[in-house]
Structure 1
Amino acid sequence: MPATLDELTHKVEQQLNVIYENIDLPMPITELSRLLIDEMNIPNNFVEPVPYTNHWSEKDMMLITYGDSIVEPEQKPLKTLESFMDTYLNDKINSVHILPFFPYSSDDGFSVIDYSSVNESLGDWQDIEDIAGKYKLMSDLVINHCSSRSAWFQNFIKGSGVGKDYFFTADPSDDLSQVVRPRTSPLLRETETAEGTKYVWCTFSHDQVDLDFRNPHVLLSFVSIIRQYLDSGVKVFRLDAVAFLWKIVGGPSINLPYTHEVIRLLRTLIEHTEPETVIITETNIPNTQNLTYFGNANEAHCIYNFSLPPLLVNSLITGDCTYLKRWLMSMPPAQNGTCYFNFIASHDGIGLRPAEGLLSDLELNTLVNTMQNFGGRVSWRTADTGEQKAYEINIALFDALKGTIGGEDKWGLERFICAHAIMFGLEGIPGIYIHSILGTPNDYEKLKNTHHNRSINRHRWDYKLLKEQLDSDYSSHSKVLTRMLALIDIRTKQPAFHPNATQYVLHLGLQLFGFWRQSLDRKQSIFCISNVSDEKVELRLNELNLIVTDDWVELISNKNIEDTATELELMPYQTVWLTNLKNE
Structure 2
Amino acid sequence: MLSIFEQLQERVNHHLQVIYAEIELPDSFEELTQQLLVTMNIDHSDKVQVPLRHHNNWDQQDVMLITYGDSIEQTDQKPLQTLHHFLQEYCLDIINSVHILPFFPYSSDDGFSVIDYSSVNEALGNWDDISALCSDFRLMSDVVINHCSARSAWFNNFIKGEGPGSDFFFTASPLEDTSEVVRPRTSDLLRLTETANGEKYVWCTFSHDQVDFDFRNPKVLLAFASIIKQYLDVGIRVFRLDAVAFLWKKQGTSCINLEETHEAIRLFRTLIEHTVADAVIITETNIPNRQNLTYFGNANEAHGIYNFSLPPLLVNTLVTGSCRHLKAWLGSMPPAQNGTFFFNFIASHDGLGLRPAEGLLNDGELSALVNTMQNFGGRISWRKAENGGQKAYEINIALYDALQGTVKGQDKWGLERFICAHAIMFGLEGIPGLYIHSLLGTNNDYEKVRNTSHNRSINRHKWDYKKLKEALDSPYSQHSKVLKRMSHLLAVRKKQAAFHPNATQFTLQLGDQVFGFWRQSLDRRQSIFCIYNISDQEQVIRLSDINLIGTDSWVDLLSEQTICHEDIELLLTPYRAVWISNINQPH
Alignment of 1:406-555 (within 5 A): 406-555=408-557
Residue 37 of structure 1 is matched in structure 2 by: 37
For residue 251 of structure 1, give the secondary structure of its aligned residue in structure 2. coil
**1:161-193 alpha-carbon deviations (Å, 9 max, x no partner):** 000000000010000001001000000000000
> How far apart, in 1, do the equivalents of 2:386 and 2:179 lie?
7
Residue 6 of structure 1 is matched in structure 2 by: 6
> How far apart, in 1, do the equivalents of 2:109 and 2:418 lie?
28
Residue 222 of structure 1 is matched in structure 2 by: 224
Residue 34 to residue 564, structure 1, CA distance change in 2 (3 Å): farther
Q: Does 1:114 align with 2:119?
A: no
Q: Are the equivalent residues in 2 in contact too, given 1:2–1:11 (CA < 8 A)? A: no
Residue 101 of structure 1 is matched in structure 2 by: 103
For residue 275 of structure 2, give the secondary structure of its aligned residue in structure 1. coil
For residue 454 of structure 1, give the secondary structure of its aligned residue in structure 2. helix
Q: Does 1:20 align with 2:17?
A: no
1:47 Cα offset (Å): 2.3
AA aligned opposite 1:360: N
Residue 407 of structure 2 is matched in structure 1 by: 405
For residue 572 of structure 1, give the secondary structure of its aligned residue in structure 2. coil
> How far apart, in 1, do the equivalents of 2:461 and 2:580 lie?
36
Q: Are the equivalent residues in 2 in contact too, given 1:319–1:533 (CA < 8 A)? A: yes
AA aligned opposite 1:57: D
Residue 160 of structure 1 is matched in structure 2 by: 162
> How far apart, in 1, do the equivalents of 2:467 and 2:256 lie?
44
> How far apart, in 2, do the equivalents of 1:91 and 1:571 lie?
29
> How far apart, in 2, do the equivalents of 1:175 and 1:497 lie?
49
Q: Are the equivalent residues in 2 in contact too, given 1:437–1:481 (CA < 8 A)? A: yes
**1:33-64 alpha-carbon deviations (Å, 9 max, x no partner):** 00000000014222211100001000000000
> How far apart, in 1, do the equivalents of 2:378 and 2:30 lie?
53
AA aligned opposite 1:144: N
Residue of 189, 192, 202 corresponding to 1:190: 192
- What do you get for the CA RMSD once the two structures are aligned? 0.8
TM-score by length of 2: 0.99
> How far apart, in 1, do the equivalents of 2:547 and 2:181 lie?
51
Q: Which moved more, 1:6-15 or 1:262-271?
A: 6-15
Q: Does 1:383 align with 2:385?
A: yes
Q: Percent identity?
A: 68
AA aligned opposite 1:116: S
Residue 212 of structure 2 is matched in structure 1 by: 210
Alignment of 1:298-317 (within 5 A): 298-317=300-319
For residue 10 of structure 2, give the secondary structure of its aligned residue in structure 1. helix
**1:462-512 alpha-carbon deviations (Å, 9 max, x no partner):** 000000000011100000000000000000000000000000000000100
Where does structure 1 lack aligned partners over 5 or more consecutive residues? none
Q: Does 1:367 align with 2:369?
A: yes
Residue 446 to residue 38, structure 1, CA distance change in 2 (3 Å): same
AA aligned opposite 1:529: I
For residue 37 of structure 2, give the secondary structure of its aligned residue in structure 1. helix
> How far apart, in 1, do the equivalents of 2:396 and 2:113 lie?
20
Residue 316 to residue 95, structure 1, CA distance change in 2 (3 Å): same
> How far apart, in 2, do the equivalents of 1:201 and 1:578 lie?
53
> How far apart, in 2, do the equivalents of 1:216 and 1:423 lie?
40
> How far apart, in 1, do the equivalents of 2:411 and 2:4 lie?
63
For residue 237 of structure 2, give the secondary structure of its aligned residue in structure 1. strand
1:280 Cα offset (Å): 0.1
TM-score by length of 1: 0.99
AA aligned opposite 2:52: V
1:3 Cα offset (Å): 4.2
Alignment of 1:140-151 (within 5 A): 140-151=142-153
Residue of 311, 318, 321 corresponding to 1:319: 321
> How far apart, in 2, do the equivalents of 1:255 and 1:352 lie?
18
> How far apart, in 2, do the equivalents of 1:26 and 1:564 lie?
76
> How far apart, in 1, do the equivalents of 2:501 and 2:271 lie?
25
AA aligned opposite 2:450: K
Residue 276 of structure 2 is matched in structure 1 by: 274
1:26 Cα offset (Å): 1.3
> How far apart, in 2, do the equivalents of 1:138 and 1:537 lie?
40
1:565 Cα offset (Å): 4.4
Residue 55 of structure 2 is matched in structure 1 by: 53
> How far apart, in 2, do the equivalents of 1:316 and 1:237 lie?
32
Residue 334 of structure 1 is matched in structure 2 by: 336
Residue 351 of structure 2 is matched in structure 1 by: 349
AA aligned opposite 1:307: S
> How far apart, in 1, do the equivalents of 2:7 and 2:58 lie?
28
Residue-pair matches, total: 584
Residue 88 of structure 2 is matched in structure 1 by: 86
Where does structure 2 lack aligned partners over 5 or more consecutive residues? none
For residue 238 of structure 1, give the secondary structure of its aligned residue in structure 2. strand
1:564 Cα offset (Å): 5.4
